[in-house]
Amino acid sequence: MKILCIGEAVLDKVYFLETNFKNGLKFVAKDFYYELGGSALRAGLFLKKMGADVVFITCLGKDKEGEIVLNELKKREIKVVFSLSETTKENIVIVTKEDRSIIKKPIKKQKLKIKNINLIKSSDLIILDRHYSEVFDILMKNKKPETEIIFDPSTEISSRTIKILKKVNYPILPWEAIKILGKDFRSGVKKLMRIIKKPYILTCGKFGSVLIDKKIKFFNSYKGKIVNSNGAGDFFRGAFAYGILNKFDLESNLDWSNYVSAFCLERNLKFSKNEIKKRVLKKNNFSLKDVVENFRKI
Ligand SMILES: Nc1ncnc2c1ncn2[C@@H]1O[C@H](COP(=O)(O)OP(=O)(O)O)[C@@H](O)[C@H]1O
Ligand SMILES: [Mg+2]
C-alpha cells in the first residue's frame, strides 16, 4: 500500500527538565534529543511502522537541521521529496513533568511544489496537513478516484480549510477547533455541521473522540502511562489511515485510533507491529457528558 504524506517537517530540539521551567533562570537539562515534528510526517512514521510504503513531500532548507531530518527519515526508510526553502523549520521544546513549552523559529512562508505527479497518481491514500493545503486541488485532479484524503486543519477554521473539509472523505478535527465556533460543545458542533454539511470526527484529548453525524457518538479513550502527550492527534490520523486501508468499519476504526494514540503516547513509537495489535491497554471510564463539561475548560 502506498501512502503519500504531505506536510511540514519540523526538527524539534527537545530539552527535558526535571524541575519546572521558570523565566529568567538558568537550567541544565536532564536530557536533550531531536524529535521529528509535523502532523503528516508523524502519521507517516506510524504507518511505516505498520508496514506501509510511505512517501513524504515537504519543504526543507539546505542546513544542518534539514540534513538531520533527511537522515532520520532515511533511517526509517521513508522516501522524501522536498522543495528547497530558505531554512528548515525548527522548534525549541521545553518538556517538564507538568507541561511543555514551544518556541518556534521565525520563518518565511515556504512554497511547496509537487513536480512528480506520478507520486499522486500511484498513491492509495493521502494524508495532508494544513501547512501546504494549497496543493489540495492538484491532489484532487491527479489522484485515483478511489484514493481517499485525510486532512488535518488543526485549529484553523478558515475559508481555505473549509473548502477542503467539505471535499475530503473524513474530516478529523481537534475539539479546540470547535471552540472557535461556539462557547458550548453542542452549539459549536452543530455550527460546523451546518458549514461542512457532512459527518465528521473530533478528537477530544484524554477523553477520546466523537463522531458527529445525525447524532453525536462518543468513543472512549484508553489508559496509557503518558510520557508526552505531544502529537496524539498525528498518531490518531495515522491509525485512522491504517484502519481505512485495512477496511475497518468507521466505529471500529475510531476505537482502534483511540487505542493507537494512547499506546503511542506511552511508547513514543518504540514498539513492534505485533505488540500494538495485542491491545493490552484498558479503556477509561469517560462519557460524552465529560466531553461536554470539560469543553468549557479548554
Ligand atoms: N492523555 C491521554 N490519554 C489517553 N489518550 C489520549 C490522551 N491524550 C490524547 N489521547 C488520544 O489521542 C487522540 C488525539 O488527541 P488530541 O489531544 O485530541 O489531538 P491533538 O494532538 O491534535 O491535540 C484523542 O482522541 C485520544 O484518543
Ligand atoms: Mg490535544
pLDDT of 52: 96
Residue 118: its pLDDT value, please? 98
pTM for this prediction = 0.94
pLDDT at 230: 72
When divided into structural domains, the chain yields a total of 1
The answer to whether residue 216 is domain-embedded is no
Closest ligand to residue 201's CA: 1
pLDDT of 97 reads: 76
Residues within 5 A (CB) of ion ligand 2: 205
Note whether residue 54 is domain-resident. Answer: yes
In a domain, 190, yes or no: no
Q: Residue 34: which domain range?
A: 2-17+30-152+222-282
State whether the beta carbon of 204 lies less than 6 angstroms from ligand 1.
Answer: yes
> In what side-by-side order are the strands of the sheet with 100-104?
31-37, 10-16, 89-95, 100-104
Mean pLDDT score across all residues of the chain: 94
And the C-alpha cell for 213?
Answer: 453525524
Q: What is the CATH number of the domain that holds 232?
A: 3.40.1190.20
Q: Report which bound ligand comes closest to the CA of 232.
A: 1
Is residue 170 in some structural domain? no
Q: Which residue has the higher pLDDT, 294 or 19?
A: 294
User: How large is the average pLDDT for residues 44-53?
Assistant: 96
228 lines ligand 1 (CB under 6 A): no
pLDDT band at 183 (very low <50, low <70, confident <90, very high): confident
Q: How far is the centre of ligand 2, averaged over its atoms, from the C-alpha of 260 (Å)?
A: 15
Q: Do the domain assignments include residue 69? A: yes
pLDDT given for residue 227 in this prediction: 73
Does the structure show a pLDDT above 90 at 21? no
Tens-place pLDDT, residues 217-260: 999 999 988 776 678 999 999 999 999 999 999 999 999 999 99
63 part of a folded domain:
yes
Model pLDDT, residue 69 = 98
Q: Is the shortest distance between the CB of 208 and ligand 1 below 6 Å? A: yes
The answer to whether residue 35 sits within a structural domain is: yes
Residue type, position 86, single letter:
E
In a domain, residue 140? The reply is yes
| 261 vs 208: CA distance, rounded Å | 9
- Proportion of the chain above pLDDT 70, given as a percent: 99
pLDDT of residue 248: 97
Between the CA of 146 and the centroid of ligand 2 the distance, in Å, is 31
Q: How far is the CA of 266 from the centre of ligand 2 (A)?
A: 15
What digits encode the pLDDT tens for the residues 269-290? 899 999 999 999 999 999 999 9
In this predicted structure, what is the pLDDT of residue 141?
98
**Quick one: cell of 106?**
521565525
DSSP secondary structure, the chain, as one string: -EEEEES--EEEEEEE-SS---TT-----SEEEEEEE-HHHHHHHHHHHTT-EEEEEEEEESSHHHHHHHHHHHHTT-EEEEEEESS-EEEEEEE-SS-EEEEEPP-PPP------THHHHT-SEEEEEGGGGGGHHHHHHHS-TT-EEEEE-TT--SHHHHHHHHHSSEEEEETHHHHTT-SSHHHHHHHHHHHH-S-EEEE-GGGEEEEESSSEEEEE-B----S--TTHHHHHHHHHHHHHHTT--HHHHHHHHHHHHHHHHHHTT-S-HHHHHT--PPBP---HHHHHHHHTT-
